[in-house]
Structure 1
Amino acid sequence: MNTTTEISPLADLDKNLKPIEKVMVIISKGTLENIYAGFILANGARMEGMESEIFFTFFGLDAINKKTIKNIHVATVGNPAMRMPTMLGGLPGMEALASKMMKSKMEKLDIPPIDEFLEILSASGCRLWACKLAVEMFDLQKEDLIPEVEGIITVGDFYARAAGDGTQIIFI
């Protein structure tokens, strides 16, 4: 006899809470697992009818930089989720192998490569921004970034865009 009952995760929500209307994702790391986490959250927001925006800062800029977008890897050194000793993760070829395995699994799940995912996000209405300080720090120009990036903005501009009761900011 099966006694488990499926309960909707929404069943326990306080009905007086205001719904989330906008999700602002900050991507600060240039690793495969961090970039995709941000993309999936932003895409999920769009699919639920919410506004979404992504702010790329520091090494997260690699995801929107024309020179680095095709060379994003899984972090194998110092990543406890890899479940391997740090020394093993640092062996030559280990990062490439782990990245190839991850990309293969993602392809089987029909998860698009980073450049295609960015096109999908942009086409869905997700707005993409680059951090002005990080762009200057890495000596980048707007021309170095993919065309889907709407602009280079300051942190203050980002916070102004996040204003509102129904906005959630997610830092990755």
Structure 2
Amino acid sequence: MTITDHHLEQLTAPEPGAERKTIEKVSIVISKGSLEGVYPGLIMANGARMEGIEANLFFTFFGLDAITRKRQGRIKVATVGNPGMHLPTIVGALPGMSWMATKMMARKLEKLDIPPVPEFVELIADSGAGIYGCKATVDMFGLEDKDFVPQVTGVLTVGEFYDLAAGGEIVFT
């Protein structure tokens, strides 16, 4: 089945006389530590802030790399087992493939005026978005406050994250 413009209009059009609802708050969960795992959440948070929407980023598991001092500038494209690469796993495992894919993606992002992860995190924080680490993951990896970049607002439990996200949308990238 193909969604035509008419069908799309029917799906998105508000009822006649109904007030259109807008998103006022979004909380984005970033759990993957690869470029293709981190950038979607950063781009969504940036877009939300540009539209005046409250945005919070919650980094968990390997997504924490994007806000960890030692790892933030070293995030790479995942070439092994990544179906989006359209490469056999064995080719993705060859030495230098991840480095090459990362360099290629960095060039494409630069052409689109999308900043590197450290600069992007700083830009999003400066726009007023909240940047949080997941307490369970922080404890599991043995991390401390000093391990994080200065833009990190805090470390939250999952329950605290839900309280923060209350009344808004939660997006898992």
State whether TM-score is above 0.5.
yes
Q: Structure 1 residue 57 and structure 2 residue 60: aligned?
A: yes
Determine helix, strand or coil for the equivalent of 2:169.
strand
CA distance in 1, matches of 2:10, 2:70: 42
**1:152 alignment partner, one of 147, 152, 155:** 155
Closer/same/farther in 2, CA of residues 84 and 135 from structure 1, 3 Å limit: same
Provide the aligned C-alpha RMSD in A: 2.1
Corresponding residue for 2:114? 111
CA distance in 2, matches of 1:12, 1:86: 44
Gaps of 5+ in 2: none
- Give the fraction of aligned pairs with identical amino acids, expressed as a percent: 53
Closer/same/farther in 2, CA of residues 118 and 9 from structure 1, 3 Å limit: farther
Shift in Å, 1:67: 0.4
**1:27 alignment partner, one of 18, 22, 30:** 30
Q: Structure 1 residue 138 and structure 2 residue 141: aligned?
A: yes
Post-superposition CA distance 1:36-84 (Å, at most 9, x none): 0000011111111100000000000000000001110001111111111
CA distance in 2, matches of 1:65, 1:24: 20
Q: Structure 1 residue 41 and structure 2 residue 48: aligned?
A: no
Closer/same/farther in 2, CA of residues 158 and 89 from structure 1, 3 Å limit: same
**1:92 alignment partner, one of 92, 95, 108:** 95
Aligned residues: 166
Gaps of 5+ in 1: none
Closer/same/farther in 2, CA of residues 79 and 13 from structure 1, 3 Å limit: farther
Corresponding residue for 1:80? 83
CA distance in 2, matches of 1:8, 1:67: 47
Corresponding residue for 2:171? 170
Shift in Å, 1:17: 5.1
TM superposition score normalised by structure 2: 0.90
Structure that is richer in helix per residue: 2
Closer/same/farther in 2, CA of residues 125 and 10 from structure 1, 3 Å limit: farther
TM superposition score normalised by structure 1: 0.90
Name the aligned partner's letter for residue 31 of structure 2. Answer: S
Post-superposition CA distance 1:91-137 (Å, at most 9, x none): 11000000010001111111111111011101101100000010011
CA distance in 2, matches of 1:33, 1:116: 16
| Structure 1 outlier segments of 4+, above 3 Å | 7-11, 13-17
